[in-house]
Amino acid sequence: MPVDDFPEVAVVLGGGFAPDGTPTASTLARARAAAQLARQRPELAVIVSGGHGDGPAPERSEAAVMAETIAAAGIPRERLFLEERSRETLGNGVEVAVAYLAKISPRPLFLVTSPFHLERALVVFRSILGFAWQVQAVSAEETPDDLANANRETRYLQETFAFFKGTEPGDLSAIEKRYRQRQAASEDKG
């Protein structure tokens, strides 16, 4: 079944990998929250979003790890869709929109992420998708690594607002172009 066959969609945002290549507690908590939401909403498609991270790439993407966790909780794999290119929140939004959401009509969308990350995730997805989508947040349980990440969130939120400055909500073409230019500039520095 394609995503379009589902009346509701959840997007689960990856929470990273530890230096040893294992998923962080945050990544696993987000997957568990998505599984719980999917059990409560049997007509929900679940898009798991996250690539291989920075540094030495783990064998599996964040999306693959979260999909396994969600499937192990009893959610059928035909309800799970993977986006494995993104490396951060803005990338989650752009890559999910390009791969899945731009191809379907607007519908209720649930963003599943950590408590500290909810505001930025909402800004990203609402800016990318525009006002036709009913975007709401679902909080995973807070983990110790969330507390450490929360200290940097204000700066990341400011960077997010700066990225979207001058763009129209829902103008995926312009937003994707700006995102790809930013990616290319970042790779040139690396």
**Model pLDDT for residues 74-109, shown as the tens digit of each residue:** 999 999 999 999 999 999 999 999 999 999 999 999
What is the structure's pLDDT at 60? 87
Q: Give the pTM.
A: 0.94
Compute and round to an integer the Cα radius of gyration of the chain.
15
pLDDT grade, residue 149 (50/70/90)? confident
Coil vs helix vs strand at 154: helix
Coil vs helix vs strand at 172: helix
Return the CATH class of domain 3-189: alpha beta
**Model pLDDT for residues 2-37, shown as the tens digit of each residue:** 999 999 999 999 999 888 888 999 999 999 999 999
Average pLDDT, the chain: 94
Residue with tokens 């869709």: 81
Residue 69 has pLDDT above 70, yes or no: yes
Coil vs helix vs strand at 55: coil
